[in-house]
Amino acid sequence: MKRDDKSYKGIGVFDSGIGGLTVVRALMERLPEENIVYFGDSARVPYGTKSPETVLRFARENLKFLKSRNIKLIVVACNTVSAVALPVLKAEEKLPVTGVLLPGALSASKTTESGKIAVIGTTATIHSGAYEEALHAINQDLEIFSQACPLFVSLAEEGWLNNDVTRLTARKYLEPVIEFGADTLVLGCTHYPLLREVISEVMGKGVELVDSANECAIEVEKILEKNNLRKMTGDTGEIRVFMSDVPYKFKEIGERFLGRSLGEVTKIQI
Ligand code: DGL
């Protein structure tokens, strides 16, 4: 089948800051030939403590920016936006839009053996009840416990991925989660995989940590295939990174996590 120029356009990805890079990494591993345009709204992070109306407004503005960068699909690499604004964004948008919440729920449902799943996320994500809804739509017998861990976002943005403050914060937040006794913990915020080491240490052996990144990349691949948008040339894709602010340690933390250079990071006004 002849593929048109659309296939060479990029995959637009956005998050409130650095967290969405956890999704970019999975996309680059699964779809290495694809070009990626990333936007991190560091000037307005965190989203997870804001009202759904404000999160929707920010998301619309981010989408508008990404669409000015020659993209063919939009990945909302933010659980908060996925939880409170995804249906509206999908309805408004002509390009395919996909989020991270359903992939996270799917991943957890495949992992659990006991049927007891805990979800951690931002205050907005947990308050929305969107994970419970998605998990119960998959299997209504699942037992779910949810816990907001808002400070994890600042710790990740600060690059405090594994130190005493992070460990103490994790112990405090995760105490009731441990008590609940889940065998699977959903990292329901794209920032949280950056703190995976500490979270895993605090949760202890026997609790599987799952995030949305890999399932999200599988979903993106399906959407590209279905819409005949997959870039078929063998050359490795490029990543372009735009931020509404470039925090001091952004490049260092971002590159450490991505395992490759972020290239030039362009600051833009949203
Ligand atoms: N990383 C985002 C999420 O997945 C948002 C974190 C925040 O800005 O509070 O929810």
Which residues neighbour 158 within 8 Å (Cβ) at sequence distance 6 or greater?
249
With 0-12 / 13-18 / 19 or more C-beta atoms within 10 angstroms meaning exposed / middle / buried, residue 77 is: buried
Residue 147 to residues 55, 68, 120, 126, 268: CA-CA distances in angstroms? 20, 37, 5, 7, 34
Residue 3, pLDDT score: 47
Residue 211, pLDDT score: 93
- Calculate what percentage of the chain has a pLDDT beyond 90: 85
Q: Which residues line ligand 1 (CB under 6 A)?
A: 15-16, 19, 45-48, 78-80, 122, 125, 153, 189-191
* Catalytic entry in 78, 149, 194, 253: 78
How do the domains of the chain map onto residue ranges? 10-100+214-267, 102-213
Using an 8 Å Cβ cutoff, are 255 and 20 in contact? no
Q: Which fold has domain 102-213?
A: Rossmann fold (3.40.50)
Q: Which fold has domain 10-100+214-267?
A: Rossmann fold (3.40.50)
Looking at per-residue pLDDT, the higher value among 138 and 250 belongs to: 138
Q: Is 78 a catalytic residue?
A: yes
Question: CATH topology of 10-100+214-267 equal to that of 102-213?
Answer: yes
Ligand 1 geometric centre to CA of 153 (Å): 7
Q: What is the value of pTM for the model shown? A: 0.93
| pLDDT of residue 164 exceeding 90 | yes
Pocket test for ligand 1, best of 15, 125, 158 (most atoms within 8 A of CB): 15
Residue 233, pLDDT score: 79
Residue type, 42: S
3-state secondary structure 60-99: HHHHHHHHCCCEEEEEECCHHHHHHCHHHHHHHCCCCEEC
Q: How confident is the model at residue 234 (pLDDT cuts 50, 70, 90)?
A: confident
- Say how far apart CA 108 and CA 214 lie, in whole Å: 12
Residue 4, pLDDT score: 52
What integer best gives the mean pLDDT of the chain? 94
Using an 8 Å Cβ cutoff, are 122 and 130 in contact? no
Residue 262, pLDDT score: 87
Looking at per-residue pLDDT, the higher value among 35 and 249 belongs to: 35
Tell me the pLDDT tens digit for each residue of 25-45: 999 999 999 999 999 999 999
Q: Is 149 a catalytic residue?
A: no
Q: Give me the phi and psi of 77, to 5 degrees please.
A: -90, 45
